[in-house]
Amino acid sequence: MNQEERKQLLEHLLSLRQSREDLLFKMDQPFEGKGQNPELASLQERLEQEEKVLKQLKERYLENLPVRKVSRCPFTGNVFSLSIDDEGLDGPWWDYDWPERMESQPHDTYFALDGALKLEGSPEWAPFFCSPGPEVPFVLPRLLKFVQVKAVLSSLKIGAHQGYMMVYYAEPMLESELRVNDWGTGRYWEPGHLLPELWTAGDYVSIDPNPDEYDFDLEPWIKSGKLLWISPEDQTLTLHGHVSRCPYLNLLGKRRLQHMQKGEIWWDEEEDEIQNEDDPAFDLAHFESVIEAIERGEG
Amino acid sequence: MDKGKEPIRLMMKKEDIGTFISENPGLLPNEGSVLTQESWAKGAPRDLKKVYGDKMTQEAFLDMMTTVLQPGWYGAVRLVGSQGLQEAWIHGLDAKMEGVVLVEQGEAGALVLARYDRLQDWLDPFLKGIAAETELPEANYLPPKTTFEGLLFVLHAVDAFRRMSYENMLKHIFSDQPYVIVSDFLKTMADALKSRDIRWLLPAFMEVTPGVEAYEAKIDPEHMAVLFEQDFFRKGKLASGEDVLVFGEAGQVMGVEFFRSWYNSYGMRFAVKEGQGFVTKEQWFIAPTLLGNHLIRLDKDDQGKSYVNHQMFTKEQLIYMAQSLLKNAFIPRATKEKHKLEPKTVPEIEAGNTEIRFCGNCGAQVIPGAAFCGSCGNKLA
């Protein structure tokens, strides 16, 4: 699908989604006679027709999403592929509340998918709420504290923007621990358990994102073997466990959640101009290196 | 191991094995039995009942011998440490992994047979005994997947750091920019492979990992790429213009780790009977150090390309992983296909099929597939 076709598909799909919302809202109003009301029956008929078309458009959208090799499991070495809209942030893959994503069956060690995104220029206009994370990559110590969990940091372009993916893997699988919402969405899929004594069905779980638990100081996590990285644009997806030459350290960018809708961007809260040591985002290593440089007379 | 789960042990002279088999013709050993080795089967016939008493006819003993002589799977275990190279074999009948029998060399030409109720009754205490007591995770400087040839270069890079450290100590040299000359690195690698000197990591890996001879060990500089990718080395030049390899972050950290705290290695290969033969399911090299337990798994991908999965595990992780991998290895193929869990297998290749080549220039034996002679540097056809 070329860009023009994608644009037309998105316009049609997103306008129909809006139309469906409007119809549902109208149908939720009180009608005389309820089921016998001709206006309500007409709305119902229109809704069914639009939903049919909408379903076809969604299928076409999903079928045309590229499947990118984005990460590699640090335990098995298996490649992790993802169907993702990397043309821009205007596709409903990026809809925080109602994302359109392919149901995938990730491999056995997959645990969670998180991400960050640095805008290069203005975001694409989209009617839905989009929240692709902070501008720089980070890890969740809450997950990495478990001995069997590791994360892999990689990057990919989302249109003109720079995306960062943090994929968490667990071996053995970590049970009974909240994961993290899938990158850019407000929910993640919690698989069911097929235990003889307790069967539970899989379900979507939603967590309130908490930037206070993000750790942007990646170096100690790499040194401890908990975070591995893949070089940008490395098609071989070679994993690295060394700190030297890591391109993801000390990146500049906002460390708060960025949100966008209809071309507007806003932030959870602005960073303090002067950082202090109580701030979780305070980079102590960088601060110390600056002080040392000053002491050496280089500052 | 829990008390009460002590294995039943039996000591048997090697030369009596042949007599036992001739008295029990229904127990001819299959190729998975350690007792197929001809030298063990020879010996002047003795009256076994006179030597071993009633044991020979007891059901428990016959069960043990059945397991050892006609196993459904076996594991070859090699250990190298201060005692030199030792080997033991463990046998089992089926995927239940119960009633397993370990066969070890005893004293004065005897074999020691020990029957454990379950494989884990032997495996867990064994791993607990050998694994380094580490609880904190450490960096893995060689994450999966790496080619087999790439691994050989990495192991030699670690040895090169150790060698340089010993030499610097002898000369009272301190260096914060340790390096090795490229030509020395390649030559010492070829020497190391030929040496079978298990005090060095590369030869230890080749000697201790059972079945590793089935993998082609090419010393081709193109496989050195992993050393630069993973920062074991950076390219450098001496003032004289000579090319050198400067140890990078991974080279220094792993070099120091193995220089200071590596003493023992362990190799294991587990093979399961499939059809008429045995198929290798798991093949490991374990090197414990003060920082953690290096587990190197050998495998081949769908295209038959050899690769390794190197992990840095805590003791607890190592034991879990060993249990998990073996459990998966022993699941019958049909069941795995059903659940789409089939791991890649390593087909067994006869060690005798390995071609032996010699350099046309200096006459030294060369590694099969090597592009250059490791002794004189002559380009090989």
Query: DSSP states of A21-62 as a string?
Result: HHHHHHHTS--TTGGG-HHHHHHHHHHHHHHHHHHHHHHHHH
Distance, CA of B313 to CA of B296 (rounded, Å): 11
How far A80 CA sits from the closest chain B CA (Å)?
Answer: 13
| Rg of chain B (C-alpha set) | 23
A113 is written with which tokens? 């998918």
* B321 contact residues in A (CB cutoff 8 A): 171
Q: Do A244 and B249 count as a contact with CB atoms less than 8 A apart?
A: yes
Q: Do B248 and A225 count as a contact with CB atoms less than 8 A apart?
A: no
Pick from A172, A238, A243: CB nearest B249: A243
Is the distance from CB of B250 to CB of A242 less than 8 angstroms?
A: yes
Q: Do A225 and B320 count as a contact with CB atoms less than 8 A apart?
A: no
Tell me the HSE value of A161 on the side-chain side, using a 13 A CA sphere.
Answer: 25
A7 is written with which tokens? 């644009």
Q: What is the pLDDT along chain B (381 residues), one digit of tens a residue?
A: 444 478 888 888 888 888 888 888 888 899 999 988 655 556 677 788 888 877 777 888 889 999 999 999 999 999 987 778 899 999 999 988 899 999 998 887 789 999 999 999 999 999 999 999 988 889 999 999 999 999 999 999 999 999 999 999 999 998 888 999 999 999 999 999 999 999 999 999 999 999 998 887 778 888 999 999 999 999 999 999 999 999 999 999 999 999 999 999 999 999 999 988 999 999 999 999 999 999 999 988 777 788 999 999 999 999 999 999 998 888 765 454 444 333 222 223 333 333 445 555 555 554 555 555 555 555 555
Pick from A72, A228, A245: CB nearest B231: A245
- pTM score: 0.84
A–B CB contacts, 8 A cutoff, strictly below = 63
DSSP per residue, B59-118: HHHHHHHHHHHS-SEEEEEEEEETTEEEEEEEEESSTT-EEEEEEEE-STTEEEEEEEEE
Instruction: Using the CB atoms, write b or e for B116-138: b if 16+ within 10 Å.
Output: bbebbbbbeebbeebbbebeebb
How far B32 CA sits from the closest chain A CA (Å)?
Answer: 28
Q: Do B144 and A243 count as a contact with CB atoms less than 8 A apart?
A: no
Give Cα A183 distance to the centre of its chain. Answer: 1
Q: Is A77 on the interface with B (CB under 8 A)?
A: yes
